[in-house]
């Protein structure tokens, strides 16, 4: 696709908006496209890819942009578009721009300093090195700077794996089965899923393989009372509802009405009737307290830094600040402690984040167990082995993109013993 000067100019405008970091990049881009309706779908796709490439490789590309001449934001846009579409796709370049791009895009990035090459803020890089070591953290950051694949979960309420595989084959969509999640399918391309009959019929849902495993750790059964404490737009809620075979009662709690609204069309497609979305004001809402000691299983997918999802949301690493982390950890512990009151003796509580940092993960569990002697840790490997999932990352689940080809996830399984 040849990228016109209009696309280059629009990319420059979009980057100027996104790099203000006043909100999530996907929200900012969506607003930008609504305000520029003359851009076609292919043009929007090219602009979005360039924006996300810049967010992934910001330190290197901004460093390159310091050379050359002309307005810097134009140089940044040209670099981002060259990163994704290639320099030859750019129309209307000045000769000096073409010469400059040819030079900087030929630079061997392995010769750059590690602090520049990693494309991470220094404070996050330092934390990852401290936790994972220099070599592994380099592999981890490299994996986080690559786009994520598109994973699907088969909804067993509406279909089974084989018919979905047949439908994807018939649509000439290349795929492979996921390594760990038994109902997962990984696509090798990113087709327009909304046009597929299996999507319209609710037979598939978009869900990262790592996220799918949380429903297996929770292990909800037919007829139980279950709570998804931070349901969001409901991807995990729908997976849990399917494992319950559409029986029992599944509460989807969230403090955001907008997120729960997004759940409604997905819920309608899913065929589930056991899900009950509930808007709560906070973790100590009266709607929560009235269920104390009555729930068989509770999933707490806590608000977190989101560093495990950087393959999808690369802007997070630039928007988060060290002070945000301390506030998040305090909130995570408060939410987990409140959710723990719901669980009946013998019930299960799963704490999860899409973070890679120990202070949001293991440290929260250590603190929780020290203050809640009625709970014990159940080794995650044993829970997964019961479901014939061969995955052992220790007593807790810690998924890493460079090792497991999933988003970064942490989960701990807790059982209330008294």
List, by residue number, the catalytic residues.
354
Q: What is the DSSP letter of 234?
A: S
Distance CA 307, CA 330 (A): 17
DSSP 113-180: -HHHHT-S-HHHHHHHHHHH-HHHHHHHHHHHTS---EEEEE-TTT--HHHHHHHHHHTT--EEE-SS
The rounded distance, in Å, linking the Cα atoms of 7 and 22 is 23
Pairing mode of beta strands 184-187, 150-154: antiparallel
List of long-range contacts for 116-124, beta carbons under 8 Å, 24+ apart: 116/59, 116/60, 116/63, 117/60, 118/59, 118/142, 119/56, 119/57, 119/58, 119/59, 119/60, 119/145, 120/59, 120/317, 121/317, 121/318, 123/322, 124/307, 124/317, 124/320
Cα–Cα distance between 98 and 376 in angstroms, integer? 63
Residue 377's DSSP bridge partners are 414
For the chain, how many residues are written? 418
Residue 100: C-alpha distances to residues 54, 107, 196, 286, 325 (Å): 18, 11, 44, 62, 40
Q: Taking the C-alpha atoms of 227, 232, 235 and 236 in order, what is their torsion angle to the nearest 10 degrees? A: -30
Alpha carbon distance 246, 275 (integer Å): 8
| Residue among 115, 119, 177 nearest 151 (CA) | 177
CB atoms within 10 A of CB 76: 22
88 alpha-carbon distance from chain centroid: 33
Torsion-angle region of 6 (φ positive above 0: left; ψ -120 to 50: alpha; else: beta)? alpha
Q: Cα separations (Å) of 34 from 23, 31, 340?
A: 16, 5, 43
Does an H or E element contain 336, and which?
A: helix 322-340
**Helices marked H in 230-321:** 235-243, 257-270, 286-289, 316-319
Neighbours of 160 (CB within 10 A): 12
């Amino acid at each position: 696709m040849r990228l016109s000067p209009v696309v280059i100019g629009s990319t420059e405008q979009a980057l100027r908006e996104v790099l203000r970091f006043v909100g999530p990049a996907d929200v900012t881009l969506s607003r930008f496209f609504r305000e520029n309706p003359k851009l076609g779908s292919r043009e929007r796709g090219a602009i979005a890819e360039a924006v996300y490439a810049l967010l992934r490789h910001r330190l290197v590309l901004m460093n390159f942009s310091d050379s050359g001449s002309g307005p810097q934001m134009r140089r940044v846009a040209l670099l981002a578009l060259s990163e994704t579409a290639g320099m030859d796709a750019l129309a209307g370049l000045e000769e000096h721009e073409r010469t400059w791009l040819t030079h900087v895009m030929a630079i061997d990035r392995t010769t750059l300093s590690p602090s520049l090459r990693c494309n991470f803020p220094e404070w996050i890089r330092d934390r990852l090195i401290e936790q994972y070591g220099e070599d592994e953290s380099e592999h981890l950051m490299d994996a986080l700077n690559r786009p994520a694949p598109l994973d699907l979960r088969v909804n067993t309420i509406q279909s089974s794996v084989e018919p979905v595989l047949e439908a994807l084959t018939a649509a000439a969509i290349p795929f492979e089965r996921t390594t760990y999640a038994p109902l997962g399918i990984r696509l090798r391309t990113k087709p327009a899923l909304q046009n597929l009959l299996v999507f319209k019929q609710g037979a598939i849902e978009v869900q990262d393989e790592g996220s799918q495993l949380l429903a297996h750790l929770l292990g909800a059964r037919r007829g139980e009372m279950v709570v998804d404490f931070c349901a969001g737009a409901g991807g995990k809620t729908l997976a849990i509802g399917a494992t319950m075979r559409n029986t029992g009662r599944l509460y989807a709690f969230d403090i955001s009405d907008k997120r729960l609204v997004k759940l409604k069309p997905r819920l309608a497609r899913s065929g589930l009737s056991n899900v009950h979305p509930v808007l709560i004001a906070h973790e100590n809402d009266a709607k929560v307290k009235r269920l104390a000691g009555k729930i068989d299983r509770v999933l707490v997918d806590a608000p977190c830094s989101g560093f495990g999802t950087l393959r999808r949301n690369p802007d997070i690493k630039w928007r988060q600040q060290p002070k945000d982390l301390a506030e998040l950890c305090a909130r995570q512990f408060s939410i987990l402690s409140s959710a723990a009151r719901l669980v009946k003796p013998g019930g299960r509580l799963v704490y999860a984040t899409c973070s890679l940092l120990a202070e949001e993960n293991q440290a929260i569990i250590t603190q929780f167990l020290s203050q809640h002697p009625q709970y014990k840790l159940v080794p995650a490997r044993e829970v997964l082995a019961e479901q014939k999932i061969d995955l052992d990352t220790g007593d807790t689940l810690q998924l890493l993109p460079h090792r497991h080809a999933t988003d970064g996830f942490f989960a701990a399984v807790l059982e209330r013993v008294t």
